[in-house]
Amino acid sequence: MQTVFDFFCHSPTVLFGAGRANRVAERLRELGRSRALVVTTESGPRRYASVIESMADTAHATFAGAQPHCPVDVARAALEVYERAGCDCVVSIGGGSTIGLGKYLSVEAGAIHVALPTTLSGSELTPLFGVLVDGEKRSRREPRALANTVIVDPLLAQSLPLRETATTGMNALAHCIESLYVPKPNPLTSQLALTGIEMLYRALTKLAVEPTNLEARTQAAYGATIGGLMVNSVGIGMHHRICHILGGRFEVPHGESNCVVLPHVLAYNAAAIPEACAAMESVMGAHPAVALQRLVRELGAPVALSELGVPAERIAAIASESFHHIDHNPLPVDEAAVLGLLQAAWSGQQPAVR
């Protein structure tokens, strides 16, 4: 057992459980806030009407314009609404893009942020967010972006379409898996990550045949919460660097790029984490890289970049740009290796386990 290690995790307050989404107003009163800007997508006011109604007059204003990858003009428009309405806090209800907009507001306006995730992205637990500027997704990691409170209510995700469940679930799995090959691993994060991987894999397998199963939804939300904590504690690696490039350059939804890229990056790095791969294989019944791609297929999600509209002739440029953003990897990696990985991901071939 490793007995010398560093561990960091500055986490928001987490309120977890079915039905807890209706405690937003109570939590705002505890924080001394009463004029929330509710941030969501265009369909959010209808989809989450019961939550907003439960907030009563603490729902002071609404911005229902959150978009994938948080375009900078959208972020600035939300900030203008916040300031013009005289709000004193932000309540974001939605997936990673919506919560990312809440983080932007918490940084730019100094606002207390209460996040209610409705997907499995895990973004709500991290101080990491991105803003899309001139076709480039510019990532930022700032302590002020960390939410004050996260309310995880599995009931909010029961109506989430299976494809979004699959894509954000694979993002959550990526958060856990990437934490297994950080520069300075430690036994706390490694054990938590393996727990999150098992819960997410079993839950997603169940949801593939029973999309509204509340027990599976709860397990998936728990695993995604662990994934968010992993990002907060140990950060991100090669996999997410590639996905951010794909999102910024081609507007590929982050969850969908995770579905395609994760099995190939895991196959590349598997030799660096043999014990963890053995543990995952005992759960999944096959090498984890192969099993994850199989699960993606079962969930009806994409397994090839060609399905997502990424041009074949741009793969070399993506590989070059991605390589120059990779700051660490457990195994040696060069531009040619990234290119080979992306070519396999573009065609959707089975991951090449090394």
Tokens, residue 166: 């699959």
pLDDT digits (tens, 9 = 90+) for 318-331: 999 999 999 899 99
d(CA 240, CA 344): 17
Domain spans of the chain, in order of start: 13-157, 162-347
Q: Which CATH superfamily is domain 162-347 in?
A: Dehydroquinate synthase-like - alpha domain (1.20.1090.10)
What is the enclosing helix (H) or strand (E) of 37?
A: strand 36-39
pLDDT digits (tens, 9 = 90+) for 32-79: 999 999 999 999 999 999 999 999 999 999 999 999 889 999 999 999
Please list the pLDDT of the chain residue by residue as tens digits (354 residues): 567 777 777 789 999 999 999 999 999 999 999 999 999 999 999 999 999 999 999 999 999 999 988 999 999 999 999 999 999 999 999 998 899 999 999 999 999 999 999 999 888 998 889 898 888 888 888 999 999 999 999 999 888 899 999 999 999 999 999 999 888 778 889 999 999 999 999 999 999 999 999 999 999 999 999 999 998 888 888 999 999 999 888 989 889 999 999 999 999 999 999 999 999 999 999 999 999 999 999 999 999 999 999 999 999 999 999 999 998 999 999 999 999 999 999 999 999 887
DSSP code per residue over 236-305: --HHHHHHHHHHHHH---HHHHHHHHHHHHHHHHGGG-HHHHHHHHHHHSS-HHHHHHHHHHHTT----G
Q: What is the 3-state secondary structure (H, E, C) of 74-141?
A: HHHHHHHHHHHHCCCEEEEEECHHHHHHHHHHHHHCCCEEEEEECCCCCHHHCCEEEEEECCEEEEEE
Instruction: Residue 343: name the closest of 325, 322, 307, 319 by CA.
Output: 319
d(CA 191, CA 123): 20
pTM: 0.91
Neighbours of 73 (CB within 10 A): 12
Per the CB < 8 A criterion, the answer to whether 131 and 104 are in contact is yes
Per the CB < 8 A criterion, the answer to whether 204 and 166 are in contact is yes
What is the enclosing helix (H) or strand (E) of 151?
A: strand 149-152
Asked: is 13-157 a CATH 3.40.50.1970 domain? The reply is: yes
d(CA 43, CA 65): 9
How would you classify the pairing of strands 136-141 and 128-133? Answer: antiparallel
The residues, ordered by sequence, that sit 6+ positions from 42 with a Cβ below 8 Å of its Cβ are 64, 65
